[in-house]
Amino acid sequence: MQRTRAELEAMSHDDLVHRVLELQDLLREGLAVRHTLHAVLNALLAAKDDEVARYADATDADLDPAGQELKRAWAAARHAVSNPLGAAKARHEL
């Protein structure tokens, strides 16, 4: 799918236009998936509002290892909803 600069320069104008249109379609599909996932995460966070708040307010010392894991998971979900790009970058850096 990826092409080198030399390969792109060797492509005809029609092929390049076709390639750009394909990439636009891929981007549109990706954005639709991201929008859907964002909506699902928002609904999940709203449905579990009490649990999310309880774990957000708890200190690590107050939680067992499973509780600490849940605290991190809820924090990651909140981060993904509030700042999807930042969450993706943070996840990539791990």
H or E, element range at 23: helix 13-47
pLDDT tens for the chain, residues 1 to 94: 688 999 999 999 999 999 999 999 999 999 999 999 999 999 999 999 999 999 999 999 999 999 999 999 999 999 888 887 887 787 777 6
Residue 16 burial (CB count, 10 A): 12
Domain boundaries, the chain: 1-40, 48-94
- The pair of three-digit structure tokens given for residue 40, joined into one six-digit string: 């699902």
Residue 40 burial (CB count, 10 A): 11
Overall pTM surpassing 0.75 (yes/no): no
